[in-house]
Structure 1
């Protein structure tokens, strides 16, 4: 898939997951620097990949999903970025975000690489939404073609409601 960052083409590393794929494993860090793998997450999961919480679009997106996903209580919303866990905790505190799970892919980029979302030349995640069901099957994929743009929220919420 071809994506851009501020109009400039960037490369995604790995193979982008598709609907119907088994969700690949990953190893990310939580706010205490502990390891978290796919097996540590359960149920219907909304994975929200963003480049950095400290950018205006990412900030807006995560706040929107904080509000919208709360309306679908059977869903665990998991936000992933390349921010250090300390920066993520600071951002969550400042933003008043306490119901989302936030993980960092800074350590080995395994989420980004295994899901085909790692922008190698920037060391960031692409802006993407992936829904994984309780059987670890990928049920929805949306990669935003221009990283500085927001996702199609309505389409994501429609997919979540159909799966919940």
Structure 2
């Protein structure tokens, strides 16, 4: 796996790196209402999985707002934003920001998503910034692990990958 940094210091990612062509691993996370949900809940749809360290920070907030705006224009696509934030914080943030076109999901309970997608930062117990596009057959068609956690992902490339996925 390539080296990821957080404020320019190297970090260790736990789990297996996901690559284009992989079958998307199923995972369990919590909704903002504390309900358990898995990737299987979104079967038959293209999924854009936007991973952020903490929704309350500037880059994470912008990333989530950007994909929320774009989600409205996409057919048969479900946008998921996953972080280690508590579901209560995600719900409060979404209400304050008017986020209605995507699902915010919390991996705080056991880091299941983080480990299965190789995005759990061992030293911080946060998820590293990344993007995954999963087609309607649950095959990964796009992956971006952002080199420096505090940088933005490539929004255009991710959205183009979503439009190409079936």
Q: TM-score range by the shorter chain?
A: over 0.9
1:65 match: 67
Matched position secondary structure for 2:150: coil
Matched position secondary structure for 1:159: helix
Structure 1 spans left out of the alignment, 5+ residues: none
Query: Are 2:152 and 1:150 aligned?
Result: yes
Aligned runs of 1:1-164 on 2, under 5 Å? 1-42=2-43, 43-164=45-166
Structure 2 spans left out of the alignment, 5+ residues: none
1:18-66 superposed Cα distances (whole Å, 9 cap, x missing partner): 1111111111001111111121122100000000001011001111111
Alignment RMSD? 0.9
- Distance in 1 between the 2:159 and 2:133 partners? 11
Change (3 A) 1:99 1:69: closer
Q: Contact (CA 8 Å) 1:132, 1:139: kept in 2 or not?
A: yes
TM-score scaled to structure 2, two decimals?
0.96
> Which segment is superposed worse, 87-96 or 23-32?
23-32
Alpha-carbon offset, residue 69 of structure 1: 2.8
Alpha-carbon offset, residue 95 of structure 1: 0.4
**Structure 1 runs of 4+ off > 3 angstroms?**
none
Q: Contact (CA 8 Å) 1:69, 1:157: kept in 2 or not?
A: no
- Distance in 2 between the 1:91 and 1:36 partners? 20
Matched position secondary structure for 1:9: strand
Number of residues of Structure 1 aligned to a counterpart in Structure 2: 164
Q: Contact (CA 8 Å) 2:55, 2:61: kept in 1 or not?
A: yes
Q: Contact (CA 8 Å) 1:45, 1:78: kept in 2 or not?
A: yes
TM-score scaled to structure 1, two decimals?
0.97
